[in-house]
Chain A
């Protein structure tokens, strides 16, 4: 019931009054809607985990943890293991994070620290975000028809000159880790760059003034003040970029070579969990599907762990540098 405690106390002619019953109902309705939306997300995650988990159960029962440490994927003999895929997933994602992270943060700095006139910087930010809108399969095609032919002579020259170094120990015959990681780096670049830009733009002007007021050069201000101040946001950018790299599917399935081997070489073909799932599902029989479900569960777990660790690191950085609110 709407309460009207002041109704008869104020002089007549005042238009002040309580919200109507309808206003209160809307208020309550919106609150329930918000709760329901939040609950739906939790339910969805739980449902996906349970669904995949239950379909993977037979495979988990049959192969146990050995599934994670075995390198064989043979439908004929019914032997399944995903160690090469785990290795390929982490290796390609780390390489992409190294490249994409470095350039992404660099772009973040470039677009926020007065290197460009404000309007030009805004235009660049839009272009970077457009990069995120390019479909994965287009990147894959570009990788096959442009990047691999471009990379091959360089890779093979490196292999000839410095073949002793494990990273260059094979030649690049076509698809392989290097083109896959490069494309992956380009794909996570918009994520890392735009979140870094946001983090750096959130730094209050007074912090910049403080830095320059101490007599820093521009680079000193950026390296010693701006980056540490934005550290938790930049870490978030890297974690999200890494998460995106772990799960990226189509471009990798096209570029990485789908070969179940573990090699440090940047030019050897490899495989990732996501690429394995994408390329094996269409023709998989019932037994292989169970194994693939197990692999999917492994990928899900890796992503969850990476995100949890990332969040923890971010929280640590926040504790150290910022006030708790």
Chain B
């Protein structure tokens, strides 16, 4: 009996070894997209097994370095330090953009302010501007909502809008995007940021200018597709050059028409 079980285990192992097995690990922002795409991929290719786990961009990339994952998902570009580590270990990481993710800056619908420059946003989130009248609004205190420090969105906003400076310490940090929308919709002086996919009529999206106020662009999928809207980040897959043949079927699938359609449905901008 025991021998029998052993045999089955060995057989199972060898089967999974020969089929298209791949492990994907990394950013929680890319996680839902990858999960959906991998399910569709597995439905079409029954012999393939794709396991997807989260943990954050940094976790994914260090797993790629250790060889415990085949594809690392990242909501940011690989850091210079990480790339250096990999090169020193004789590895050659390749980069693919899966999709784009845009951040919308939102305020309460009753707020008359409808456009801001990056410099004004930086000053607001760093606590240098504290009243709406300084940016052309009514005389009311600005209430700044942000995500928790563990969120990839927090880091991206810090990099893109604050140019790597720190948020002020009295910023209100919310555990989820839904909570930010709820709070902004019921607080008159509120400002916050959410993924484009989460925008809804309960809040008002702000037009943003990254060129000192020459062009203000409202966040929308079209504007992001045309590369006009500035607060956009690419979402990446990283894989090891020598492993290319094994991971390519899935990566190609993500850019197939069905894959792109699903990407758009999930609120991301296809590449």
Is B truly associated with A?
no
Report which A residues bind B (CB closer than 8 A).
none
